[in-house]
Structure 1
């Protein structure tokens, strides 16, 4: 019975196996990305960049249809453009960067929806916004896996610099660390992984697997390495549970995955040992020793 519920779908159907590989690849990178977005107080920026991808993806779709590479290149260009423009507006005017980023991503989101509507239909729009994990093709799967591998290698190179910059940026500057280069590499990693996740989770869902497991991990782990490992694990479990839920109950996989991650976050807020509600409201139990 348990085998029929949890194993048979992946054994019997190739589309489920492809979706599982995509979920594993996305989850492994979502862990470190989400943790550093949280540590650097950039979670809302990650969400804004996910929305900012849409006009580039829409232009690629408008010109070439549902072509993977055209949509990916368009999304990457749009994402990096919004990130650079928001920084430029913040530095050249009195507007704060979070406000300029919010304004640009709203414009981007509306523009993208409008462009898709001019060429396609509601189904095409839903495909771009929410992904099509259960119908992911071979080319898209190769892209997701390749980006995951390159991202993990890059993280291994810049990991120490990112950690030091999060906790002691003055020391990093004093010793001549490459903080700016690491920050730019981190932003590029966010953009590239969001674009690669379009086919699987869509522009609106891709950032959810980064932010929610990382936020949940913060309530359990006390070290950066621990948060990264737990965040990746929660992302993977959320992905598998969401896939199985979408298969057994005929639900869209992207929202199902994000809602499972949201449930893990809600439980962590309540019961987490690192500042969870129960621990804060009833602190006596662990102070008696």
Structure 2
């Protein structure tokens, strides 16, 4: 087996592999920078909770469309995700619960409700597709949706980059200068939700957050500046998608989990080899000042 037949031929010969690769690249460009900001805001687990919060809306879209209609399920997931984000923010501001606790509560309820809805009206195969995604079944319409969300994310991040970073690192300062921190916080949550909806189209609700948070963790190990973190996270997500698709094609295994496991392997290697990794810590010599 040549390098060409291993790494290039599947994407030349099969249209579904090309569409899956384009979807992975679009997800990398949109989701990875959002994941970096989530990580820096110490909201990584909130992203996981939000990925499950979209499940009831996707399940309702599944029922209305009478099957696995990705646009209908994506729209339902968007409505559900935004509703959960707004409710969690409202509860955190009117009760003693913090926002992460509100997300956790809604996450458990949403996951159970979504699985129940799909299992009542669909088959076990439908449930597996909802939970684990169907990236190889992405059609041109769904691909346009994923690409549109990625484009909107990049444009929005470019427009609100400075106030978003300020709100990320020092929200008190932004409030003090009248910077409308709540507005930018809502816009950021909107970006999280729409990118999770895009990831849901490809990876399912259980792993939608994978290409958002794992590349962000890799980037944090290798870079110190925010633009470089964005670049490394996006590149890691794209490489994970490509290698995961190649492995799933040749070994006939599920594509979504293979992509996430590939990102996990890159994360594991980064833990060992990065400038702040185990090798550097074990073999760096202590310096003593005279």
TM-score w.r.t. structure 2 length? 0.94
**1:1-24 deviation per Cα after TM superposition (whole angstroms, max 9, x unaligned):** 101100000111111111111111
Name the residue aligned to 1:55: 56
Name the residue aligned to 2:221: 219
**1:38-75 deviation per Cα after TM superposition (whole angstroms, max 9, x unaligned):** 11111111100000010110111122222233212211
Determine helix, strand or coil for the equivalent of 1:176: coil
Name the residue aligned to 2:142: 140
- Between stretches 252-261 and 91-100, larger displacement belongs to 91-100
Name the residue aligned to 2:230: 228
CA distance in 2, matches of 1:95, 1:35: 25
Matches within 5 A, 1:1-289: 1-65=2-66, 66-273=68-275, 275-284=276-285
TM-score w.r.t. structure 1 length? 0.94
- Does the CA-based 8 Å contact 2:245-2:259 persist in structure 1? yes
CA distance in 2, matches of 1:166, 1:144: 26
CA distance in 2, matches of 1:7, 1:145: 22
- Taking a change above 3 Å as real, the CA distance of residues 141 and 106 of structure 1, as seen in their structure-2 partners, is same
CA distance in 2, matches of 1:185, 1:197: 18
CA distance in 1, matches of 2:176, 2:95: 29
CA distance in 2, matches of 1:197, 1:96: 27
**1:158-205 deviation per Cα after TM superposition (whole angstroms, max 9, x unaligned):** 111122222333333333323222211111011111112222111111
- Between stretches 220-229 and 62-71, larger displacement belongs to 62-71
Provide the aligned length of Structure 1 versus Structure 2.
Answer: 287
CA distance in 1, matches of 2:150, 2:102: 30
CA shift, 1:149, in A, is: 0.8
**1:207-246 deviation per Cα after TM superposition (whole angstroms, max 9, x unaligned):** 1000001001111101001110000000000000000011
**1:137-160 deviation per Cα after TM superposition (whole angstroms, max 9, x unaligned):** 111011011111111111100111
CA distance in 2, matches of 1:130, 1:170: 39
CA shift, 1:81, in A, is: 1.4
CA shift, 1:110, in A, is: 0.5
CA shift, 1:100, in A, is: 2.1
